[in-house]
Amino acid sequence: MSAAFPARGKRKPERIAPVSIPAPRHLLAFHERIRLLAGWMLACALLAACGPLPNDPYPMAERGRNILYSSFMERPKHLDPVQSFSENEAVFLYQIVEPPLQYHYLKRPYALEPGVAASMPVIRLFDVDGRELGDDEPERVAKSVIEIRIRPGVRYQPHPAFARDESGAPLYLLGEGAWAGEVADIRSPMDFAVLDSRELTAADFVYQMKRLAHPRLHSPILELMSDYLPGLKSLHVALAEENKKHPDAWLDLDLFPLDGVEVIDRYSYRITLEGLYPQFLYWLSMPFFAPMPREADRFFSQPGFAGRNLSLDYWPVGTGPYMLVENNPNARMVLRKNPNFRHDAYPCEGEEGDREAGLLDDCGQSMPFIDEVVFAREREGISYWNKFLQGYYDASGVSSDHFDQAVNMSGQGDVSLSDDMAARGIRLVTSVSPSIFYLGFNMRDPVLGDVGPDAAAKTRARNLRQAISIALDMEEYISIFLNGRGVPAMHPIPPGFFGAREGEAGINPVVYEWRDGRARRRSLDEARRLLAQAGWPDGRNARTGEPLVIYLDTTSAGLGDRARADWLAKQFRVLGVQFEVRATDWNRFQDKIREGNAQMFFFGWNADYPDPENLLFLLYGPQGKVGGQGQNASNYHNDEYDRLFDRMRIMPDGPARQAIIDRMVSTLQNDAPWVFGFYPKSYSLQHGWIKNRKSSDIVRNGLKYQRLDIATRDAARLAWNQPVRWPLALVALALAALAAPALRNWRRHEQATARGEQD
C-alpha cells in the first residue's frame, strides 16, 4: 500500500489573512508627540536655514538697498499743504513740497536761505503816500512789497495730473479726453499707466495762496494772514458765494483774483502786505506757501476720487527731493526719490563743531543721498525699541522706559551714552527744542501780582516773585522728572534764536550768579531775604502772622502725577510757605485763566518760527488774557517793555535789535512775571551708519541731507541677528531621549514577532 508523503525541504507557510491589532493608546499618543516634536524641529531648522537674517521684518527684495527705515505712531491727518500744521505731518510733507525759502541745515542761530527761490526775496517799503522808505524808518511803513523769483528749470514729480494725450488735452480728466474715469483698480496716483511732469512756474505759488481762502478747506493761518493780506478775506467771501451756487463743482481759482498777490512773469511773483511784517519771511519757509499746480487741484477734484482717498490730503504733489509712493497710514508709508529733482548741493559751512562731527564731509555733493524712506507704523514702544537695537530702524527716540538703558547721567546733570549703546556704535544726538515751559504768576493776583496800591506794595510783590523763582530749583526738576532732558531757562528766548545770549551774558542775574565758569543758582538764604523784604519772613505775614499760602491752578491731569505736586510743595516748604494744588477740569481751568482768577499756573509754548518776537509777545501787554484774549496768560503789563516790543518786532536782526532785546529781557528778569522753567531738550539715538544727521525741530526738510553707509548696516544686522541654534541641539537630544524607549519597545516587539513566526 502506498502512502503520500510531503516533499522534503523547507515548509511553505500557509497564507493567513492579515489581522489588525490596535496599539495601546498611550503608545499612539507617545508616537504622536514624537511626530509633532520632529516636525517642529524640522521647521526650526528650515527657518534657520532660510537666510542670514531670519527675523528681518522687511521684504527680501529690500535687502542691501539704499533705504532709510523709520517709524511713526500717529497717522497724519492732513498732507494737503494748505491745511497741514502738525509735527507728525511735517515729517512727510516737508520732504515733498518746497516753499520759496528754507532754513540753513547746519547754521545756528537759524538762518533763512533760498529754497526753491533763486535768491532771497527783494523787499521794498512804502509810506502812505507811496514814497519808498529805507530800513531805518519802520514806523512809517504802510505797505511792504515782496518780490520772489524762483529757480528756472525746476520740475514736479511724475504724476498723472500732468499726463496729456496726443492733442495736448489732459489724459486723466473726465469729460476733457478719452478717459472714462475708471478708478476701480486705482489705489494711488502711482497706479495710473502714464505719469508726466512739467516745469514749476510763479503762477503755482499764487494758486496755492488763493487756496488759503478756499471755503472747503480750513487753513489754520487764514485769519492771521488776512491781517496783513486783506485780499484773502474778500477772496474767501467770493469763493464762499460761488460754493453756495455750485457746492459740488470744482472751483477754478484762476477765475478769482487775490488782491495784493500777482504774477510778474513766468518765474516771478509779487506779494503786497499791509504795514510791516518782517516775520512773513519765516512763513515763506512753510508748506502753506509751497506751490500747487492747478492741474493737481483739478485732477483730485473729480467725482469718486475722494471716496478712494485720491486727494491732496493723501497724496501731496511737489517738486521736493521725495515723493509719496505708498500711503497706508495704518501700516506703512514710503517716500521715494523724485527722479525729476534738480541738483541741490550739500552745504559747505555750519556752526562750530560741525566739521569735527563730520557734518561737512559731503560739501558740494548732490542731494538727496538716500533713494527711499520707509516709515512703518509702530503702536508699541517695546517693539520699536527692540527693532532699533537689532538695526532694523536706523534711528530712535529715547523714551522714559528705555532711558536708563540708553543714557548715563552724572551728578551735575550731564548726559552721556551708555556703554552698551557706545559699543554698538550708536550715537546720541541732542538739540534744544524751540519751546519753553514756565510757571506763570497772575499779575492781577492781590498777593503775587502787580496791583498794589502804591509802589512799595508792587515792590514787595516783585520780591516775592523773585524769591519763589530762586527757590524753585529747575535743575533738580529737570533731573528728576525729565531725565535731564531740558535746559534751565533764563528768559523766554530758547537757544538757537536770534537774541538769545550765551555764557555769562545770558544768565538771569536775579536767580543765578556766574561762578567757576558756569551759572550757579543763588542760595536759599537769598530767597529767604527777598521773602522777608516782601513782608513774609519765614512764610508768615510780618503784621498779622498769618501763613502765606500759594496756589497752583491746573487741570486734574495738569501736573502729570502726584510726585510733581509733592516736589513743588517741598520747594515752598523750605521757605516756610504753604503750597496747595487747585485742580479742576479743563473748561473751568480755561475760564480761570481767561478771567484772571488763577494765581500760579504751568504753561508751555512751542515757537512757530525762530524769531524772538514769537516768544516775547507772550508778555506783551495788549496780548493779555483779561481784556485782550491774547496769549499773555500772566496779564503782565509794563509800558517800557511794550514800547520796546513794538520797535523790536519790526526791526531786522542786527546789533540795534539785539540791544533792544537785551533791555526787554532784563526788564522781564527783574519783574519776574514767570518762573522761567526750562527749554525742553530732545534726545535721539542713531546708528553709526547714518551720516549728516543734525537734530532740529525747526529744520524739518532734513531727509535730503542724510546719507547711509549700507555695507556697515548690513554687517551690523548680520552680527546682531544671528539665529540661536543651540536650542535645536537640545531639542534633538530631548527627542532622542524620548524616542529611545519607543525604539527599544519596537525592537522587542519585532524580535518577539520573529520568534513567534519561527515557532
Would you say residue 380 has pLDDT above 90?
no
Residue 17's pLDDT is: 42
CATH label of the domain that carries residue 506: 3.10.105.10
Residue 666 belongs to some domain of the structure: yes
Residue 576 belongs to some domain of the structure: yes
279 strand-pairing partners: none
Query: Among 335, 333, 372, which Cα is nearest to 76's?
Result: 333
Q: pLDDT-derived band of residue 26, with 50, 70 and 90 as boundaries?
A: very low
DSSP string, 293-345: -HHHHHHHTSTTTGGGT-STTTS---SSSEEEEEEETTTEEEEEE-TT---EE
Residue 411's pLDDT is: 59
Q: Are 645 and 499 contacting, i.e. CB atoms less than 8 angstroms apart?
A: no
Residue 292 belongs to some domain of the structure: yes
Q: Are residues 96 and 214 in the same domain?
A: yes
- 568-580 mean pLDDT: 95
Using omega within 30 degrees of 0 as the cis cutoff, is the peptide bond preceding 368 cis? yes
Q: Are residues 164 and 305 in the same domain?
A: yes
CATH label of the domain that carries residue 233: 3.90.76.10
CA–CA separation, 9 vs 16, rounded Å? Answer: 21
Q: Are residues 135 and 265 in the same domain?
A: yes
CA–CA separation, 163 vs 158, rounded Å? Answer: 9
* Total-model pTM: 0.85
Q: Are residues 260 and 189 in the same domain?
A: yes
Residue 412 belongs to some domain of the structure: no
- Type of residue at 15: R
Residue 415 belongs to some domain of the structure: no
Q: Are residues 633 and 752 in the same domain?
A: no
Q: Are 604 and 437 contacting, i.e. CB atoms less than 8 angstroms apart?
A: yes
Q: Are residues 42 and 169 in the same domain?
A: no
Q: Are residues 36 and 118 in the same domain?
A: no
* Helical (H) or strand (E) element with 264: strand 261-265
Q: Are residues 603 and 737 in the same domain?
A: no
Structural domain tally of the chain?
A: 3
What the block records as the C-alpha cell of 32 is: 504622536
Q: What is the pLDDT of residues 125-141, one digit of tens each?
A: 999 999 999 888 888 99
- Type of residue at 538: D
Percent pLDDT > 90 in the chain is: 72
Count of alpha carbons within 13 angstroms of residue 663, beta-carbon side: 15
Q: Are residues 749 and 664 in the same domain?
A: no
Residue 103 belongs to some domain of the structure: yes
CA–CA separation, 392 vs 386, rounded Å? Answer: 9
Q: Are residues 562 and 448 in the same domain?
A: yes
Across all residues in the chain, what is the average pLDDT? 89
Residue 377 belongs to some domain of the structure: no
Give the range among 88-97, 251-260, 402-411, 659-668 with minimum mean pLDDT.
402-411
Residue 615's pLDDT is: 96
- 292-297 mean pLDDT: 97
Q: Are residues 597 and 666 in the same domain?
A: yes
Q: Are residues 480 and 586 in the same domain?
A: yes
Residue 328 belongs to some domain of the structure: no
Q: What is the pLDDT of residues 133-167, one digit of tens each?
A: 988 888 899 999 999 999 999 999 999 999 999 88
What the block records as the C-alpha cell of 746 is: 519596537
Q: Are 582 and 551 contacting, i.e. CB atoms less than 8 angstroms apart?
A: yes
Among 648, 682, 716, give the residue marking a domain's end: 682
Q: Are 286 and 209 contacting, i.e. CB atoms less than 8 angstroms apart?
A: no
- 236-241 mean pLDDT: 97
Q: What is the pLDDT of residues 469-492, one digit of tens each?
A: 999 999 999 988 988 889 999 999
Among 292, 323, 354, give the residue marking a domain's end: 323
Q: Which residues contact 486 (CB under 8 A, 6 or more apart)?
A: 437, 474, 478, 678, 679, 680, 681
* Region of residue 17 (left: phi > 0; alpha: psi -120 to 50; beta: else): beta
Residue 21's pLDDT is: 42
Residue 49's pLDDT is: 44
What the block records as the C-alpha cell of 240 is: 464762499
Residue 348's pLDDT is: 97
Among 650, 682, 714, give the residue marking a domain's end: 682
Q: State the residue range of the domain holding 159.
A: 78-323
Would you say residue 180 has pLDDT above 90?
no
- Letter string b/e over residues 175-202, b meaning 16 or more CB atoms within 10 A of that residue's CB: eebebeeebeebebbbebeebebeebbb
